[in-house]
Amino acid sequence: MDQEAARKCILIVDDTPENIDVLLGILGEQYKIRIALNGEKALALATVEPPPDLILLDIMMPGMNGYEVCRRLKGDVALSSIPVIFLTAKGKDEDEAMGFALGAVDYITKPVSPPVVKARVETHLALDDQKCHLESLVRERTAQLKKTRLQIIRRLGVAAEFKDNETGMHIMRMSHVCQLLGKAHGLRDEHAEVLLNASPMHDIGKIGIPDDILLKPGRLDTEEWHVMQKHTIKGALILGQHSSEPLKTARLVALTHHEKWNGEGYPEGLAGDDIPLAGRIAAIADVYDALISKRPYKDPWPQDKAVDLIRGEAGKHFDPDLVALFLKHLPEIERISVRYADGEELRPGRQAESGVNEETT
Ligand SMILES: [Fe+2]
Ligand SMILES: [Fe+2]
């Protein structure tokens, strides 16, 4: 960066040209200066890119006064972080209090002392630099933490796959369909993203199912089936109680992805809206993808047949409103299937654990 570009920019706002001349004399050599003779012009100049690094603001001006200018600057997210120093003849305590209450970093009374103006401007620019640096450090560290946390969560999902018949691609497709259905349902992007990151762990509880049941080639007897159903509760136990959204949602999905809208699911037999939304969404995404996937115990279903089953289960297995959204967004769901198509050989046969899979495949 050349020296000129590196020079900080100060916006001076004052309706009296003599005052501006004085400030130009004090600061003009060291800084780039923008000048506004009234409040409206000040707001306009504050939005010119790159924004000024600091604003020296007179209070008593015809039209919009300095307090109002400051109020508007602080109310605009794009401008609110620019430090404002009031520079005014209004020297009463209440005037100063008002200035600070509006968010100014400093208050200098006229007539000004050049060394004081210079020193205060320098100090506040340095403080602002420091603040920006710390904020960017915090942002960077927070992003790193978030990334690490998501990686750990995803690796947990991978751990579950080692004991499961489900391929990594099933997890990818299923979690993307969860995100899509969440968005279609009206969730904000960040909440739909939580679903994307949480749903891969829906079957983490299978880690806790004995191999002789999980790997049994034939049908499970009643007792074994009961043990198998426990993967929901075990999943919730493994994931534990947390305040972090992805883990909280992951726990809910693990616990409730086999509940059914009509109350005939497991582990608790919850019905309707008592089933958390994340669980209702995961149920559709999981079953649909299981149907169209090749599994060691079944061929993939054609998409039409799988869609018919989902449609037919509206109000029985699945939330009817979510089924309607599923049908509305079928083209996007199909794109997800193509994008994350299975590319690797399936592992040896494992048990199905979804009611629909079990009864229909
Ligand atoms: Fe499951
Ligand atoms: Fe699954």
Instruction: Please say whether the beta carbons of 95 and 88 come within 8 A.
Output: yes
Which domains are present in the chain?
3-136 (3.40.50.2300), 162-360 (1.10.3210.10)
CA distance 35 to 56: 10
CA of 157 to the centre of ligand 1 (A): 12
CA of 190 to the centre of ligand 2 (A): 23
Q: Which ligand is closest to the CA of 157, given by its number? A: 2
The average pLDDT across 61-83 equals 94
Contacts of 218 (CB under 8 A, 6+ apart): none
Q: Find the helix or strand (DSSP H, E) in which 86 lies.
A: strand 84-88
CA of 151 to the centre of ligand 2 (A): 19
pLDDT of 348? 41
Instruction: Please say whether the beta carbons of 333 and 310 come within 8 A.
Output: no
CA of 5 to the centre of ligand 2 (A): 56
- pLDDT tens digits, one per residue of 224-240: 999 999 999 999 999 88
CA of 218 to the centre of ligand 1 (A): 18
CA of 94 to the centre of ligand 1 (A): 66
Q: Which ligand is closest to the CA of 161, given by its number? A: 2
Does residue 350 have a pLDDT over 60?
no
CA of 68 to the centre of ligand 1 (A): 59
CA of 170 to the centre of ligand 2 (A): 7
CA of 177 to the centre of ligand 2 (A): 12
CA of 352 to the centre of ligand 2 (A): 10
CA of 146 to the centre of ligand 2 (A): 25
pLDDT-derived band at 355 (thresholds 50, 70, 90) equals very low
- pLDDT tens digits, one per residue of 189-212: 999 999 998 998 899 999 899 989
CA of 285 to the centre of ligand 1 (A): 12
CA distance 23 to 69: 19
CA of 243 to the centre of ligand 2 (A): 25
For the record, the structure tokens of 224 come out as 């074994």
Does residue 131 have a pLDDT over 80?
yes
If you write DSSP's letter for every residue of 5-53 in order, what string do you get? HHS-EEEEE-S-HHHHHHHHHHHTTTSEEEEESSHHHHHHHHTSSSPPS
Q: Which ligand is closest to the CA of 291, given by its number? A: 2
For ligand 1, an ion, list residues with CB under 5 A: 203, 353
Q: Count the neighbouring beta carbons within 10 Å of the beta carbon of residue 180.
A: 22
CA of 202 to the centre of ligand 1 (A): 6
Q: Which ligand is closest to the CA of 235, given by its number? A: 1
Instruction: Please say whether the beta carbons of 339 and 169 come within 8 A.
Output: no
* pTM, 2 dp: 0.64
pLDDT-derived band at 21 (thresholds 50, 70, 90) equals very high
Please tell me the least confidently modeled range out of 3-12, 35-44, 247-256, 307-316: 3-12
CA distance 202 to 145: 23
pLDDT-derived band at 178 (thresholds 50, 70, 90) equals very high
